[in-house]
Each structure stands twice: as structure tokens, then as C-alpha cells.
């Protein structure tokens, strides 16, 4: 999420700098127009990336908290954690048995 926010801000700053250097009486040359469109596209993509990762992180944290709250009140071993790793990464699998 942070990367999306930072890259969005950088793209907007580049776009503002290009827009400040353009005179309203002169038409834009094709290279400046293409660069400004590219910066606008990058800003939109990075904003969507930041929003999407923020929403998905909130959902995952909410589900995790709900599972642990449900598992805490139960007797016996209803929660199982199993680590896993591959050459591409590692993780933790949580299994919760609900009544």
C-alpha cells in the first residue's frame, strides 16, 4: 500500500512539474503530451494499487482477528498452525475448527 501511495505522489509531482512548465498560449508537442498521459496513467494505477491493497489488508486483518476470537473461547485444540516454505517464499497456514 505504501509503495502505491509513494509512486502515486511521485507521478502527480512529475505531472504538476510538466504542467507548470507549459504555457497556455503554446500547444503541447507530442512528446510532452505523451509523457503527461503516461504520468497520469501511472498515478491512476498506483492509486488503485494503494486502495486495493489497503482494502484487502483490512479484510485479512478482520478475518484473522475474528478467527482468533472465536478460537479463544473454545476448549480443546481447535486452532492448528502449520508453517510452510518454498524456494519462492514462506508462510503460515492457520486451520480453525468451528463447532
User: pTM of the entire structure?
Assistant: 0.62
Half-sphere exposure of 71 (CA within 13 A, CB side): 15
Structural domain tally of the chain? 1
35-45: average pLDDT: 91
User: With pLDDT > 90 as the criterion, what percentage of the chain qualifies?
Assistant: 27
User: What digits encode the pLDDT tens for the residues 56-94?
Assistant: 999 999 988 887 777 776 666 677 788 888 888 888 888
Structure letter (DSSP) for residue 98: -
Does pLDDT of 25 surpass 80?
no
Which domain does 35 fall in, by range?
2-96
Q: What is the pLDDT of residue 75?
A: 61
Amino acid at each position: 500500500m505504501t509503495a502505491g501511495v509513494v509512486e502515486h505522489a511521485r507521478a502527480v509531482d512529475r505531472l504538476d512539474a510538466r504542467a507548470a512548465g507549459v504555457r497556455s498560449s503554446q500547444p503541447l508537442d507530442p512528446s510532452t503530451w505523451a509523457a503527461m498521459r503516461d504520468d497520469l496513467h501511472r498515478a491512476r494505477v498506483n492509486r488503485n494499487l494503494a486502495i486495493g491493497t489497503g482494502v484487502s489488508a483490512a479484510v485479512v486483518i478482520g478475518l484473522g482477528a475474528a478467527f482468533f476470537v472465536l478460537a479463544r473461547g473454545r476448549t480443546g485444540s481447535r486452532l492448528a498452525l502449520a508453517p510452510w516454505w518454498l524456494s519462492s517464499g514462506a508462510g503460515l497456514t492457520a486451520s480453525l475448527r468451528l463447532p
